[in-house]
Amino acid sequence: MAVLTGKIAWVTGAGSGIGQAAAVALAKEGATVVLTGRRKEPLEETAATIKAAGGKAVVKAGDLMKAASVTKIAAAIEKQFGRCDILVNNAGLNILERSWKQLSAAGAEQVIDGNLSSAFYCTSAVLPIMRKKKDGVLIHTSSMAGRQASLLSGPAYSAAKHGVVAMSHTINMEECVNGIRSCVVCPGEVATPILDKRPVPVTKEERGRMAQSEDVGDLIRYIACLPAHIVINEVMINPTWNRGYVANLQRGKS
C-alpha cells in the first residue's frame, strides 16, 4: 500500500511547475489531491495526468489572494472529505518591474499577496481541520531569496519569501503540541514558468542545468511521507551548476 493512501492533500499553484509536480508525486503515493489555482484549465490538465496514472484528484479553482475564497475552498474540502492531512502552499508569482526604481505599490501588493498572504490564508484555513485530527503536515515553497535577499528576485519577492520562512517556523513553535508539522522548502533556480517573468531572459541551456519541477516535487513527496514524530523544519534544494557560484568563480579569475 502506498504511504499516503487515505490521505487528503491540498496543493496550491497546482496548474504548473512545482505545484503540478508535487501533486502528481503525492497522488502516486496514494493521496487524494485537491488542486487549486486561479485558472481552471491547467488544473484540469494536472487532474487528467493524475487520473490517467490511476490516481485521485479534485479541482477546486479559486483566487488564493482573497481570504474569503480560501475559506470557501477549505470548507468544501472538509465537507467533502472530513479532513485535510497535507497542505502544499506553493502558489506564487513575480513581476517584471521588480527593482525599487520600477516597483509600484500595486506591483508590491500583487507579489506580497501572491506569495505571502495566500500562504497565510491557506494555513489559517487548514489548521483548525488538522487540530481536530491531532495530525497534519504543511509544506511551503519559499525560495533561496527567502534566506538571502536577492536583487535578482526583487525586494517584494524576497521580503514575501522571507515571510513564508518565518511563518513556517512559527507554526512548529505553536502547533507541535497538536501533532502538526511544518516544513519550508527553499529552492534555488528551478526551471518553471515563473522564469518567463525574469527581466533578463533565461536560455534553454541554462534552464536545462537548473533544478527541475519534478526534483522539488519529489522532495515535497518525501517530506509528506515522513512519520508523524519527525519534522524537517527547513530544507534547501539547488542545482549542482549553481549560476551564482559559477559567476563568483569567474569573477575570481578575472
Which sequence positions are flagged as catalytic? 157
Residues 6+ apart with CB under 8 A from 68: none
Residue 11 is inside which H or E element, if any?
A: strand 8-12
Residues 6+ apart with CB under 8 A from 93: 110, 111, 114, 115, 194, 197
Give the full edge-to-edge strand order of the sheet including 56-59: 56-59, 32-36, 8-12, 86-89, 136-141, 180-187, 234-237
Could you give the CA distance from residue 14 to residue 138 in angstroms, rounded to a whole number? Answer: 15
Q: Phi first, then psi: give them for residue 58, nearest 5 degrees.
A: -130, 135
Chain position carrying cell 506569495: 115
Residues 6+ apart with CB under 8 A from 120: 167
* 15, 46, 101, 203 from 51: Cα distances, Å: 15, 9, 46, 33
